[in-house]
């Protein structure tokens, strides 16, 4: 169960970009296939959320979920902490971005695999200790991996080193479930730095997961 919760927290990380790069919101639609006999597809969707709104600016991001368990996540490179707010806790749990319990064993890139929202995307497959991850990305949505050199959690820097781009689709195969996340909208916008601050008075504590 511990590894499942770590995976859940790591799935909803997002990326930022460089120079003339994307700043704004990306909306993802999520679907789940359960592998756990006591949890249905619908229950995973209800807990995790079938929609995620990602807000990105530079080396910081925030994701907001419509799940009954997962509410939001916030990452800022300044402290290299990924804060996660779950519905069953008043405090936001944080994970050290420099710690990763997973390991990438093999990587493979397939050119021109799919088109998403008009973007022709390549496919990156990461075979990892904890499962297989696939990312579909376009070079038109560039990301400077140096912004996330310390973001090891969730294999995120490993992915960025190879794609240098923002994923528009993700498929994650894990022991408890498989998840597919596909971008349904890309909305450029200028975002204020204060949008990426923790809510006033929010308590934080180190994540037990």
Q: Please determine, for residue 58, whether its predicted confidence score (pLDDT) is greater than 80.
A: yes
- How confident is the model at residue 143, as a pLDDT? 80
**48/66 Cα distance (integer angstroms):** 8
Q: Taking Cα atoms as reference points, which of 91, 54, 79, 31 lies closest to residue 168?
A: 54
**Which 3-state string (H, E, C) describes 65-87?**
ECCCCEEEEEEECCCCEEEEEEC
> Residue 187 contacts by C-beta under 8 Å, 6 or more apart in sequence?
24, 25, 26, 27
Q: What is the mean pLDDT of the chain?
A: 89
* 185 DSSP β-pair partners: 27
Query: What would be the CATH architecture of the domain defined by 2-206?
Result: Clam (2.50)
Residue 109, C-beta contacts closer than 8 angstroms, at least 6 positions apart: 122, 123, 124, 125, 162
Give yes or no for residue 106 having a pLDDT over 50.
Answer: yes
Distances (CA, A) of 37 to 33, 168, 175, 177: 11, 30, 12, 10
**Low-confidence winner among 39-53, 70-84, 135-149 (lowest mean pLDDT):** 135-149
Segment among 120-124, 177-181, 205-209 with least mean pLDDT? 205-209
Q: What is the pLDDT of residues 17-56, one digit of tens each?
A: 334 577 889 999 999 999 999 999 999 999 999 999 999 8
Residues paired with 126 in a beta bridge: 107, 133
Query: Residue 5: what pLDDT?
Result: 52
Q: Please report the pLDDT score of residue 56 as a whole number.
A: 84
Residue 15 pLDDT level (bands cut at 50, 70, 90): very low
The DSSP H or E segment spanning 124 is strand 119-128
Q: What is the predicted pLDDT for the residue at 13?
A: 47
Above 60 in pLDDT, residue 60? yes
**Could you tell me which of 177, 36, 13, 35 has the C-alpha nearest to residue 97?**
13
**pLDDT value at residue 7:** 52
Task: Please give the model's pTM, rounded to 2 decimal places.
Answer: 0.85
Cα atoms in the 13 Å half-sphere on the side-chain side of 92: 20
Mean pLDDT of 153-171: 93
Write out the H or E segment, with its range, that includes residue 194: none
């Amino acid at each position: 169960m511990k590894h499942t919760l770590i995976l859940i927290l790591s799935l909803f990380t997002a990326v930022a970009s460089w120079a003339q790069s994307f700043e704004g919101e990306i909306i993802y639609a999520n679907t789940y296939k359960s592998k756990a006999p006591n949890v249905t597809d619908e229950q995973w969707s209800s807990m995790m959320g079938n929609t995620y709104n990602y807000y990105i600016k530079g080396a910081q991001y925030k994701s907001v979920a419509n799940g009954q368990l997962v509410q939001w996540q916030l990452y800022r490179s300044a402290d290299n902490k990924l804060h996660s707010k779950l519905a069953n806790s008043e405090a936001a749990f944080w994970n050290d971005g420099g710690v990763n319990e997973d390991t990438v064993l093999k990587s493979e890139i397939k050119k021109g695999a799919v088109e998403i929202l008009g973007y022709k995307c390549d496919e990156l497959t990461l075979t990892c200790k904890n499962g297989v991850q696939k990312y579909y990305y376009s070079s038109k949505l560039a990301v400077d991996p140096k912004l996330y050199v310390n973001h090891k959690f969730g294999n995120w820097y490993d992915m960025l080193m190879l794609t240098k781009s923002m994923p528009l689709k993700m498929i994650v195969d894990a022991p408890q479930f498989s998840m597919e996340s596909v971008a349904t909208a890309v909305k450029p916008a200028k975002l204020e730095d204060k949008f990426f601050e923790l809510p006033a008075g929010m308590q934080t504590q180190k994540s037990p997961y």
